[in-house]
Structure 1
């Protein structure tokens, strides 16, 4: 079984894009408590977009695509926290 057949690349793409969106929101000065909501929402939107644009996307219906996107978007917040914890807390 090839790992690309699982659609993992589509999920990773959404996570990276949402991570960048979260970083952009930080620069605006908006309160950091809104970042998970923003990246989760953007992830849901990107999930539906990915369903149409990526042939290997792991969802075939709107609800699953939104759920995959939201989880991918929120994973970006987790990645940010992991980097912060492992890197000594630099960059709040």
Structure 2
């Protein structure tokens, strides 16, 4: 079985885009507590968009596409937190 047949690439694309949006929001000075909401919402929107643009996306209806997008967006926040914890501290991140 080929890994691209699972639609993993579409999920990874959403996660990377949401991660970059989260980093951009962090630079704006907006309170960091809003970043998960912003990346989750962005992920949901990108999930619906990906459903139409990517033939291998793992969702065929709106609700599943939104859910996959939200989870992918929130995964970007989790990836950042794991990297921060493994890196040995906050390194200047506002808390």
Instruction: Assess same fold via TM > 0.5.
Output: yes
Compute the TM-score of the two structures, normalised by the length of structure 2.
0.93
Rounded to whole Å, the distance in 2 between the matches of 1:23 and 1:34 is: 12
Distance (Å, rounded) in 1 between the aligned partners of 2:14 and 2:24: 15
C-alpha deviation, 1:36, in angstroms: 0.2
Shift of 1:49: 0.3
Q: Distance in 1 between matches of 2:28 and 2:12?
A: 25
**Any idea what the Cα deviations from partners look like across 1:44-86, whole Å, max 9, x if unmatched?**
0000000000010000000000000000000000000011011
Q: TM-score, normalised by structure 1?
A: 0.96
Structure 1 residue runs without a partner (length 5+): none
Distance of 2:66 and 2:86 partners within structure 1:
30
Give the deviation of 1:88 after TM superposition: 1.1
RMSD between aligned residues = 0.8
Flag as ranges the 4+ runs of structure 1 deviating above 6 A: none
State the match for 2:78 in structure 1: 78
